[in-house]
Amino acid sequence: MKAETPRTSAMLRDLKRAGLKMTPQRLAIVRLFAEDDEHPTAQDLFERLRAAFPTMSFATVYNTLDALAKAGLAGIVRLPGKRGDAARFDPNTEPHHHAVCDACGAVLDIAAGTLAPTPGAVKKLRRTAPGFHVHAVERIYRGLCGRCTASRS
Amino acid sequence: MKAETPRTSAMLRDLKRAGLKMTPQRLAIVRLFAEDDEHPTAQDLFERLRAAFPTMSFATVYNTLDALAKAGLAGIVRLPGKRGDAARFDPNTEPHHHAVCDACGAVLDIAAGTLAPTPGAVKKLRRTAPGFHVHAVERIYRGLCGRCTASRS
DNA sequence: TTGCACCTTAGAACGATTCTAGTTAGGTTC
DNA sequence: GAACCTAACTAGAATCGTTCTAAGGTGCAA
């Protein structure tokens, strides 16, 4: 049997630890998802799994990703966009921001030590939005990814 | 006739300037929307307009908001959330971030001088995401709004 | 091995948004 | 101020992503 990467192993362990049953479908979804750093949609994963599980229901993918999200093992990224913009799932549980390519829509993780607001941010919010109590600050870096920058020679 | 606020006047002027026709429906939508700083959904606006325009189509609201957005007179805010999370429209065209209440979902504008990345951010991205070319940095402050903080005495 | 709570499946349902076809009406021109 | 052209309007169907339902299947603790 092929050895699993640390992230896959950790996700499977935590899934089990959370009291969830390890079905063949879930194993397959986790193994695909944990190694995918391109923020796949449910559709993406579903299509890649159809070969191995021709009868798998779409709901199973959603249910599993939902279970992962509830267990804190996955995040959901939703970005303003055109019609049909589906939610994207993120196996990275470390604190991080996102860089989004305006041209191709690619989403990259940008590591962050913490998402906690800086003292400066807290101060600023106290002025601009009195009464609002900040817990975390998320950032979205918008621009062009390397590939799209290159193709605009 | 009632005097219009600066933002309403400006939006109407710019709409006209963009070559769009001033229909009664559009006038009404703009007058409602431009004064609303609570980031209404298309549904919200539609319902508030039904009294005055009982035959108005839902598509008209979307079309108008779309036209405003294309003319740079409105923004679209979409946030990760539960099912049925509709897009919210934002008449504020000044550079700003958003504060989102985790409890009630309220969205507040947080003024920002600019959305351009700081030299520090550019440097950081060069390390973390080589090749990515940042244009703007959006922030989402997550926490509890004043009302929700208060109601958790 | 058994039992049951949790999973899976297929398909219907749902909410948000967009499209289509046909009609109406701004606004520019004469 | 009438005519025209085109953009905008309406109703309703279509589409997309997501969730729900009901019925049968199965991981896994005892």
The model's pLDDT over A31-73, given as tens digits with 9 standing for 90+, comes to 999 999 999 999 999 999 999 999 999 999 999 999 999 999 9
Q: Do B138 and A143 touch (CB under 8 A)?
A: no
For B104, how many CA atoms within 13 A lie in the half-sphere containing its CB? 14
Query: Average pLDDT over chain A, rounded to whole?
Result: 92
Per-residue pLDDT for B99 more than 60?
yes
- pLDDT confidence of B83, banded at 50, 70, 90? very low
Residue nearest to nucleotide C26 (CA to C1'): B21
Whether the CB of A77 is below 8 Å from some CB of chain B: the reply is: yes
Is A121 strand, coil or helix?
helix
Per-residue pLDDT for B35 more than 70?
yes
Q: For residue B121, list chain A residues with Cβ-Cβ distance below 8 A.
A: 141
B24 closest CA partner among B59, B60, B58? B60
Per-residue pLDDT for A24 more than 70?
yes
Exposure b/e, B13-52, CB count within 10 A at least 16 = b? ebbeeeeeeeeebbebbbbbbbeeeebbbbebbbeebeee
Question: What is the rounded distance in angstroms from the CA atom of residue A149 to the CA atom of residue A143?
Answer: 9
Nucleotide of closest approach to B23 (CA, C1'): C26
